[in-house]
Amino acid sequence: MDEIKHILWDGKSLKLLDQRLLPKKEQYRECKNFEDVCRAIKNMTVRGAPAIGVVAAFALVMAARHILEKYSSSKAAFSENQFQHQLATAANLLRNTRPTAVNLTWAIERILKKSRACNKKTPEFIIKVLESEAESIFKEDIQINKKIGEWGSELIGDGFTILTHCNAGALATAGYGTALGVIRSAHYQGKKIKVFADETRPFLQGSRLTAWELQKEGIPVCVIVDSAAGYFINKGDIDCIIVGADRVAMNGDVANKIGTYSLAVLANENSIPFYVAVPLSTVDIQTRTGKEITIEERAPQEITHLEGIPLAPDGLSVRNPSFDITPARLITALITEHGIIYRPEEKKIKELLSKRGNTF
Ligand code: MRU
């Protein structure tokens, strides 16, 4: 197995495999500063909720270094309060780059908490602490995905055909993937599985990214247009659906790539399981139900143009919500690093969160 390394940190800058160019080109884009990372998140050079969280953590390390370098070059005395204030301002800019993915806020809060705990320390010490926290977020994410894979693979029978939507793979995380992590684990256990990947309009994460990842691994994959999912499910060709998530509300409602809700309805109508694979960092304890989740709307050009070529007449009214909400009642189970939650609801989610130390 060739591990996909799409986020590279060398202690000063980040190199990101440009996901806009895959599968045509495998090209890394260097982010030399905080602003470069914000742009890379906004323009989808890097995407997928956990991956965004990881790069956001490194972006804050860069912001902190820049703030501290300004002190040393201006010879002004280092003010801890001002430093914390400037870092919090950078964090707010970062938070708004992609509003639905809660892992972004989660990673930002982890870095800010470490920074606040560094009182009366030298700037050099603070940078070291923040960098080591960002590296932990990165490494932990891969381990968490492997655990999700272990739990989830129990649900996958030998010979299964699995439908997935968007890309919840190595490219959407620090590595290994959530939904694709489950698929990888089942494959490594020797189960003969097949994957149907929805192409996932308009950014084509399914046909460009999921298909690329699975093909590299030698996992059989077949790409279909999003609207063909119902046809194959109704024909009995699909054994289960597994997707990732950008945010899970406390009642179990899930925000994920636009089209996920339609798949959950199809799964229920045709009595096949609908699974959502998520790290617990995707559960937002501040959000009670899916209704409270902000849905990002992206530029109309993603729909009306393909590589600059118009696909629709000029001057059209276009809506491009990037995510939708799947109500908990349509979800067979959430697959997390701490176990599987069947028929998710607030009580069960709280029980699992308390295993990682949350108190309610
Ligand atoms: O717009 P994207 O490509 O960032 O959307 C990604 C998804 O919807 C994924 O399913 C989700 O982030 C989970 S990734 C493990």
pLDDT digits (tens, 9 = 90+) for 149-203: 999 999 999 999 999 999 999 999 999 999 999 999 999 999 999 999 999 999 9
Range(s) within the chain of domains with CATH label 3.40.50.10470: 148-356
* % of the chain surpassing 70 pLDDT: 99
246 catalytically annotated: yes
CA of 322 to the centre of ligand 1 (A): 9
Position in ligand 1 atom list of the atom nearest CA 101: 12
Residue 359 pLDDT exceeds 70: yes
Nearest CA to 208 among 309, 307, 310?
A: 307
The boundaries of every CATH 1.20.120.420 domain in the chain are 7-144
Ligand 1, residue 205: give the atom nearest the CA: 3
CA-nearest residue for atom 8, ligand 1, is: 257
Q: Name the pairing type of β-strands 7-9 and 14-17.
A: antiparallel
Q: Which residues pair with 257 in a beta bridge?
A: 323
Mean pLDDT of all residues in the chain? 96
Residue in the block written with tokens 């990002």: 296
> What pLDDT does 74 receive?
78
Pairing of strands 221-224, 194-198: parallel
- What does the pLDDT look like over 111-126, one tens digit per residue? 999 999 988 788 889 9
Strands 323-326, 254-257: pairing kind: antiparallel
Mutate to test the pocket of ligand 1, among 257, 274, 281, 324 (most ligand atoms within 8 A of CB): 257
Ligand 1 centre from 213 Cα, in Å? 15
Relative to the CA of 177, which ligand 1 atom is closest?
Answer: 15
Q: What is the largest CA-CA distance in the chain?
A: 71
Among the four given CATH numbers 3.40.50.12780, 1.50.10.10, 1.20.120.420, 3.40.50.720, the one describing domain 7-144: 1.20.120.420
Share of the chain above pLDDT 90, in %: 91
Ligand 1 mutation target, pool 16, 41, 45, 47, most atoms within 8 A of CB: 47
pLDDT at 72 over 80: no
- Side chain identity, residue 319: R
pLDDT tens-digit map of 96-111: 999 999 999 999 999 9
Q: What are phi and psi of 93, to 5 degrees?
A: -60, -45
Predicted TM-score (pTM) of the model is 0.96
> Domain 148-356 classified CATH 3.40.50.10470?
yes
Residue 3 or 289, more confident = 289
- pLDDT of amino acid 78: 76
Provide mean pLDDT across the span 41-60: 98
For 34, other C-beta atoms within 10 Å of its C-beta total 22
Q: Does residue 144 surpass a pLDDT of 70?
A: yes
